[in-house]
Amino acid sequence: MKKLKVPICIGAVLLCGLLFAQQTPSTKPCPAEGFSGGFSYGCPQKHFANPSDISAMMAALPDKPFATPQSLRHVLVLCKAAGWVHTSIPLASKMVEYLGDKTGAWMTDITYDPAAITPENLKQYDALFLDSTTGEFLDDPNDKAVSGLRRQALLTFVKGGKGLAGIHAATDSYHTSGRPASPGGPPTVATGTWPEFNEMIGGFFKFHWTYPTLIPVKIDDPHSPLTSMFPARGYEIVDETYTFAQDSFSRKRVHVLTSIDYKKMSAEDKAKEPASTRRTDGDYALSYIQRVGDGRVFYEAHGHDEKIYYSRPFVAHMLAGIQYALGDLKADDSPSDK
């Protein structure tokens, strides 16, 4: 395997140096290493997961892959958060690594450096996993040319036949906030700032029910191998739950696997969402797959809190999703709204 020319963290052994998110300073104290739950803003990213979280996650790992790998697969996990910084990022990266190690489905490299996203470096990988990447996570704020090259490298990688998988805040990227232009003014319309990426990842963030909120989940495709670990009747989950701006997500593009069972949500929880962000169609997708060019994309909206990674069905869902993105697990990925 070709050696990387950028700092890479393999497992939890190597520390790539503290990389500080370029954000507005937080008014709250930054969490220390080992802090679990929630997220921080304007704080340095954690690089190490809490050992007790890793132990609980490892107990939830499946024993074998859903499909036999067609070849030796390699996955690159990108952990760069240029906006909100989730404390669960290091644990999610370890989940990807240990899933590959235990099942033999792939080998994993982990990096916090977006400079890894170059055409030359990506040649050695079969899929890229976006680990709650936020903001303009690929961009160099001081070099537009470099930013453009990284963006194009990602698009070419996926459209050329490789895979992309994302979890939770991977959709909280490349969009405006929709906040009022002036204090007390009406909210503005949130827009995507990189349309090709917004479509490729499936949509962009507009609102979330905060952790902990009990969310009823519907299985939209109970026949898919990517939902075989869930009961067909659906299930409930407690996490921070992302939703997408009205026009950024569409079943005409993606094949929905799971979604919020909105009819089962309490009136109290529904009322927590402002009218300005509420979808008029009541369609709140949670996980889905789609073809982009010759490549494959999988996304799962949950994954905010560390405890989610203790769940056997959730971790199995991530294994199946990554194997789909790699091209080893075949599944119906035609748009749900044909």
pLDDT for residue 165: 98
The C-alpha atoms of residue 155 and residue 234 are separated, in whole angstroms, by 34
The C-alpha atoms of residue 253 and residue 291 are separated, in whole angstroms, by 9
The yes-or-no verdict on residue 299 having pLDDT over 90 is: yes
Q: Per-residue pLDDT tens for 129-161?
A: 999 999 899 999 999 999 999 999 999 999 999
Where along the chain do its domains lie? 39-179+187-326
* Strands (DSSP E) found in 186-234: 205-219
The C-alpha atoms of residue 246 and residue 232 are separated, in whole angstroms, by 27
Please state, for a pLDDT cut of 70, what percent of the chain lies above it: 84
pLDDT for residue 179: 57
The C-alpha atoms of residue 222 and residue 318 are separated, in whole angstroms, by 16
The C-alpha atoms of residue 244 and residue 230 are separated, in whole angstroms, by 23
Answer whether 0.85 is exceeded by the pTM. Answer: yes
The C-alpha atoms of residue 23 and residue 4 are separated, in whole angstroms, by 28
Q: What is the mean pLDDT of residues 103-117?
A: 98
The C-alpha atoms of residue 139 and residue 32 are separated, in whole angstroms, by 27
The C-alpha atoms of residue 95 and residue 93 are separated, in whole angstroms, by 5
* Architecture, CATH, for domain 39-179+187-326: 3-Layer(aba) Sandwich (3.40)
The C-alpha atoms of residue 145 and residue 284 are separated, in whole angstroms, by 36
Are the beta carbons of 235 and 215 closer than 8 angstroms?
no
The yes-or-no verdict on residue 32 having pLDDT over 50 is: yes
Average pLDDT, the chain: 86
The C-alpha atoms of residue 135 and residue 14 are separated, in whole angstroms, by 25
Residues in the chain: 338
Q: How confident is the model at residue 186 (pLDDT cuts 50, 70, 90)?
A: low
Q: What is the mean pLDDT of residues 271-278?
A: 85
**Using the 8-state DSSP alphabet, how is residue 196 labeled?**
H
The C-alpha atoms of residue 54 and residue 64 are separated, in whole angstroms, by 19
The structure tokens listed for 70 are 């067609």
